[in-house]
Structure 1
């Protein structure tokens, strides 16, 4: 039996859409009849990462930094633990690239922060850098579809992974036209990679967009990335190549052309009904036509907005690096493929992470915005606690969670987790938390002992007065020695539905730095979940500017009711 629609939707689609709109779109699509189909994907040209990174300035910089460090380690890492350096590090990689840029993302949003990056990527392509962008198809709709305009620029290729047939005017319309294949719709490429000249790269939990760089108007994500250099980046590139050359990676030109993008960028007349969008074109490749020169890549972003979001590049010669042994944990593209037998049990990123956790001797520290353990993960936590291993978890509260359905799944396990003696902490969502963790020059920075994320790129703390904080970091620290930082959540969706990628780094200094940042967040912006008189109780940190709560902190009655309605019907693996 197929799951109900609310549980079948990827997290990027909010469950708050009104029932009337759902019914209207369903009726219109039913009247349209038939099912859209994908075109053939036979004309894609295979390509691989640049093979000689040591012949580029970025590659030579790695060797210079290694010689200065006097180390035998072949890979180096730096935590990107503020929204400011998360953006400026990416700018540095684009500015420094001379041969290749490879980007792999679940979502790239069409806004000012992205315009800064895309504009620089276009400049890089025009100076001869080969650019490959691999994007999960699900979010490349509506205004965000304008990111695909880069596919029509010389020296840039853009491919969409596991595309869905149907209109691109909205996520809702695409979901409604794909209800006949819920299983395919659920499987998404969740990887995040940003690689320059096969010499330096970035991975972590962060997608690209204002909300991930501290400049979202209503919501900002608390996130964490790792900057990597050296041999490990070549492993990241090999993973990129496997996805790029996979049969599920469709060149944009086989799915839509420039005229269709232009149509999507124009304001829709008020009389146009939801779902009446540009249809998927015929199953044949389209010629690549250059887009006319424009001061911005994205039609929705003005030159002034792009200039305001602009930042100077990070100095890669000065960034503090930890040289350490490392391994790339990554799922195979087949995990996202059709059917349920593409990947054998025990071969996924989450399975590998569970095995690592079982080796813990003293402590496991987990950050996961969506925390729906499922039976196997619960068995791992139980084994750890039986051996006396301390387990601490930071996840979202109901109010800070951007996916209420995921919270419904997590809520099922809270009592059992507490009974095991697991220390549960939930992120506070209030604007004060956003100002504390994402505030700009007036806020705390990593050098001054701030929280998980320090200073942000925009203005003063007051700029975030109307924004709520939402946890989006994904990390596991084991015995303050091993750090796993990547795109994965500790839930069944990451285990069996999405493809994921993560770095396993064996460095006590880096693990200690990450732990200090996390603990600063726990002590300033998260509740500790406890039991009081047989009920759940949210205890505020000592000395915090907010108090204890005896119910879901900051959550509205409407939100609480929604979770209660969803809870009994939503399968764990769909949340």
Structure 2
């Protein structure tokens, strides 16, 4: 930053604070006591079975794939209900909707019986949740912290816009991590946030997503990552703002509200359909098979949110690059937001050139919830195909029933983030293959050496890329025409009949035109 720009920024900040003087500001001197994960405790049949399984596989971790959205929700509820000592949650989004309130009610019930609950949320999308978070934090066994928070606690769009204008270099960097750890014995890691859209409970958008439920040494590693973020300089108690905070009376009212919301949810058609679909319980409380393998957690340093921290920005990227470097036969990539950049395109070309089959599943323009990101991806689509990369784009499946069929979601937009190399090594986590995940957001996930787990993730890929579920994108060169200039073709199956398109299918001309204009904008580094 130049010396001349400092007074301007200070003046802008002073003006901002004057405008928002009636609003609460962040107290950076607020006490932030260090706390760490509690030792594992075995006080329930569920915990004893997990410990027995882990002891039978020394040095390995066990995994179950949560590809079904209802299964993913019920697994979290079951874990919270069985918690005996601690629950640690780290999320980008924790919505104040039906499933968010249901989980909040189960967390409050756990705290009432003496369980310590730590909830760490990224502050970007905390808007309506403030009263709920304040009330939960008033419980003696619950602590809520916000990661990389806004300096002024005014949740209006104009306030956020003003703060981004002054402090955008910092606020543009967000915590995208996702984990749910109970008693230091169980953890859920993957792509889902907490909210109706991630569990097929909403009325608007549904995501096809994927998590893994894990036991064994990987759980302690996940707890270590949580502790690093919880105790970092970027994490502040929700009480760090100069406002009137929730009291025991607020907590009592919230308890009553959440109990009512839980009863309403239990009586809903969704809950009944969920029970009908899960006659043998959720993946969290079944005694069935685990997929075992050597595993490790990979995560960015929380200091990545500090502007200029480029070295830390590459921590997780380096681990995934090492996976890809070792590929010899095949690579399957699932990323809802896929912007490889020129270097990424060249790298995937080198993999394909040495005989590695590279297949990518991402969102179609019709399915994506981020048209600007699709514009960034579309810029490289033809080059990827010309270099031998297989491309599949998820079809929108709006109007399908809200309960899974064959282990996949009825959602209209892809949200899972996975990587499988040589049908053996697996990554499941929060990281998209785009510049924002690589350079701006913090991310985390697990890397597992397990052919059995790899097969299950590949089954998810194979199901999602069937012609009924995805468009296959190909180049169709004409006589004498190079592949780089060949037109693209999308194909899918409708009612048993293959249908081909010469443009992004199931989209309007206006939407395609807007994306074409977005491709001209120099915004790729922000996507």
What is the TM-score with the length of structure 2 in the denominator? Answer: 0.87
Note closer, same or farther for the CA distance 1:542–1:307 as it changes in structure 2 (3 Å cut). closer
Distance 1:420 1:544, change over 3 A: farther
Q: Superposed, which structure 2 residues align to 1:241-252 within 5 Å?
A: 241-252=227-238
Q: Distance in 2 between matches of 1:172 and 1:481?
A: 49
| Cα distance, 1:247 vs structure 2 | 1.1
2:208 corresponds in structure 1 to: 222
1:324 aligns with 2:301: no
Could you say which residue in structure 1 is the equivalent of 2:321? 354
Structure 1: how far apart are the matches of 2:233 and 2:303?
10
- State whether structure 2 residue 117 is matched by structure 1 residue 174: no
* Contact 2:191–2:430 under 8 Å retained in 1: yes
- Which residue is 2:525 aligned to? 573
How many pairs does the alignment contain?
495
Match of 2:442 among 499, 509, 521: 499
Q: CA deviation at 1:52?
A: 3.5
Q: Are 2:264 and 1:304 equivalent residues in the alignment?
A: yes
Provide the rounded CA distance (Å) in 2 between the counterparts of 1:107 and 1:33. Answer: 25
1:390 to 339, 354, 357: 357
User: Bigger shift: 123-132 or 373-382?
Assistant: 373-382
Which residue number corresponds to residue 428 of structure 1?
395
Whole-angstrom CA distance in 2 between matches of 1:568 and 1:163: 32
Closer/same/farther in 2, CA of residues 113 and 161 from structure 1, 3 Å limit: same
Corresponding residue SS for 2:501? coil
- Where 2:362 maps in the other structure, the secondary structure is strand
The aligned counterpart of 2:513 is: 561
Aligned to 2:472: 528
The runs of 5 or more residues in structure 1 that have no matched partner are 2-27, 262-286, 447-452, 457-467
Distance (whole Å) between structure 1 residues aligned to residue 395 and residue 188 of structure 2: 28
Structure 1 residue 299 displacement after superposition: 10
- Gap regions ≥5 residues in structure 2: 2-14, 276-280, 479-485
The change in CA–CA distance for 1:552 and 1:167 in structure 2 (over 3 A counts) is: farther
State how far apart, in whole Å, the 2-side matches of 1:203 and 1:320 are.
18
| Structure 2 residue corresponding to 1:486, chosen from 418, 421, 429 | 429
Rounded to whole Å, the distance in 2 between the matches of 1:300 and 1:545 is 48
Task: Give the C-alpha shift of residue 379 in structure 1.
Answer: 3.2
Q: Distance in 1 between matches of 2:462 and 2:77?
A: 29
Residue of structure 1 in register with 2:61 after alignment: 75
Post-superposition CA distance 1:131-155 (Å, at most 9, x none): 0000000010135763453222231
Counterpart of 1:12 in structure 2 is none
Q: Return the alpha-carbon distance in structure 1 between the equivalents of residues 131 and 68 of structure 2.
A: 28
Gap change, CA 1:150 and 1:520, over 3 Å in 2? same
What residue number does 1:156 align with?
142
The farther-off stretch of 149-158 and 298-307 is: 298-307
- Which residue among 42, 46, 51 is the counterpart of 1:63? 51
Matched, 1:341 2:329: no
Deviation at 1:92, TM superposition (A): 1.4
Q: Residue 545 and residue 572 in structure 1: after superposition, are their counterparts in 2 closer, same or farther (change >3 A)?
A: same
TM-aligned CA deviation for residue 407 of structure 1: 0.8
In structure 2, relative to structure 1, the CA distance for the partners of 1:66 and 1:520 (3 Å cut) is same
Inter-CA distance 526–143: structure 2 relative to 1 (3 Å threshold): same
Deviates more, 1:396-405 or 1:145-154: 145-154
How has the CA–CA distance of structure 1 residues 430 and 37 changed in structure 2, closer, same or farther, with 3 Å as cutoff? same
CA positional deviation for 1:61: 2.4
| 8 Å Cα contact 1:110-1:298 kept in structure 2 | no
Pick the aligned partner of 1:476 from 377, 397, 419: 419
RMSD: 2.9
CA distance in 1, matches of 2:426, 2:463: 17
Q: Is the 8 A contact 2:473 2:491 kept in 1?
A: yes
Aligned CA distance change for structure 1 residues 301 and 50 (closer, same or farther; 3 Å) = same
**In the alignment, which of 492, 501, 511 is matched to residue 454 of structure 2?**
511
Equivalent positions of 1:68-467 (< 5 A) are 70-142=56-128, 146-171=132-157, 173-255=159-241, 257=243, 291-294=251-254, 296=256, 301=261, 303-305=263-265, 307-308=267-268, 314=282, 316-337=285-306, 339-341=307-309, 343-344=311-312, 347-432=314-399, 434-435=400-401, 439-440=402-403, 444-446=405-407, 453-454=408-409
Distance 2:518 2:213 in 1: 38
User: Would you say 1:44 and 2:11 are equivalent positions?
Assistant: no
Contact 1:111–1:300 (CA<8 Å) still a contact in 2? no
Quick one: distance in 1 between partners of 2:261 and 2:242?
Answer: 22
Q: 1:144 to 1:556 in 2, by over 3 A?
A: farther
State the Cα distance separating 1:489 from its structure 2 match: 0.4
Partner of 1:19: none
**Could you tell me how far apart the structure 2 residues matched to 1:165 and 1:495 are?**
25
- Change in Cα spacing, 1:544 to 1:571, as seen in structure 2 (3 Å) is farther
Match of 1:280 in 2: none
Q: Which residue of 2 aligns with 1:548?
A: 500
